[in-house]
Structure 1
């Protein structure tokens, strides 16, 4: 379900490709960042947005976010890596009782076809409904097929009226089953896309594999190796000597390729630092088996994952496994490999997970 960002609140959400953005209300101090979004647009996209290649229109649009929230105006921005990559706005009519609002939408060059605009509109719909708005209206150039498709695919009924080179769209904000289903389908598809690097990784690195028998990192590396993981497998160890026959590298940044999944098995005080290194290198998913993180260390780990767009399982977990023949991923420290089958299990407790694996094996 789409969450309405409250004043100043940041909501992290998944795009269609499984990557993460932050959706939040625009602030007066966003003016320069919004202007930067428009300034970086091509002339073609500026014309589609403002109906003319107008830098003056871009300046006026950026200036709108500096006005205090209220008076029928609201703007939401999508932010990634500290940069604004999209903005959606509505403005009601002159009367305070107006239940209709004009909307506008802009997504930065190179960010199209990832669901940024659709996600922003979902949040804008929720915000508008909460303020008593029942209808959106928008004008677009008839050739602006992308934004017209965004409107059409929302799951809300869209009425179109062609007026020369322009299209006037009216979108009733009825809370229909079709709209709720559309939002849910988009969310599910984004969830699945985001979990691919975690559950079907093409390559895996174990950071903190450990040379001491009995260490958790060494046990995970052993299971990955003996479970015959189908992709490249690496160990990260300061000594850069092979561990259990797996080639090791002194740092994440020294790996010959970016692993889809990194298993982190270092001491608690180093987890967030390693997570940051993984994020900067381009790792998409983290599995943290390290335990003993305090609130500050856990917060720093979560911040690193959000900053670098990584999915996270852990900390202090048993691991993840996928017995598909094309994957054969056993990134756990369980005593035995899980057998292939039709059951899938997700549990909060590692102890319960181990017991369930044993029970399923006996069955």
Structure 2
């Protein structure tokens, strides 16, 4: 299945993926999801926020056990971040059927829309809307780099923007959620383990910084006459690195937009996006407050710390460890955000499995997972689903 997806949205020059939400690549991925679900005889539906659900059993009769992830990517992302979780979900259902297992609770595969937030700037857009964390009016007004709003994009794709928002009926179908994901770090490499379980997701957020100046000619304007916002931006980049070290967290200015963006012009406006994360919320907030002094700053998203429920986490780890040759399954925290964290924050019992990434690199074409480790992840996920569906 990963091979079937390998060509969709791939940049031939870099090998990275460009799978923005509601793009042509995303629509092709959605068609693939429907095809795989129907091939297995699952009941497929798209909710009011664009999230996809494929059900083995009827979730309207009793809440079900759901697994899955997302299919969109960051710009120039890797092949595993998101798709591995969706592919593994279908593969785990195949394993359960080969075992002759009949779930006593409905079993679902989910594909959440716009988890990365690459196009409209807010991560986990689909799950935030589903759970009511994000105001639909704000979501519809979000714009992409071309200035097109989410509302306009949805209409062009044949969706009804007015339907966006909290969907308690769909959410009520989810009795528990388990998300498998490629690890986005080196924890499992250092522990020499193919599969791990998440204990928590660090608090994290995104902030937009606008630096205002005066656009002018780069060749004729004297240095002393310039009001160059790029200098203020550069100073903030260095300040963010220094403050991150001091606060013991991570902070990154990873996206910048310059206007008028001419090589021979002093900029008039520099907009930059800060991503900050850490084990403690106070440290993250303190860093942002420090950097915000004297700047025009707007918070675009915030996710508080998610502590996965210990009893469910331990049950997941024990079930995953039943995979032959797996040994003890390590439990570790992550700084990466996921739809599982949004659902957990909304009160849905949630957990995560990680599959080892030998490169330790993510959000890059260098992201990787070995076939044997992916297979171990599928077997572990199947064990977990079997345990939760008894």
Query: What TM-score do the two structures reach when normalised by structure 1?
Result: 0.23
* Higher RCO (CA-CA < 8 Å; seq separation 6+): 2
Query: What TM-score do the two structures reach when normalised by structure 2?
Result: 0.22
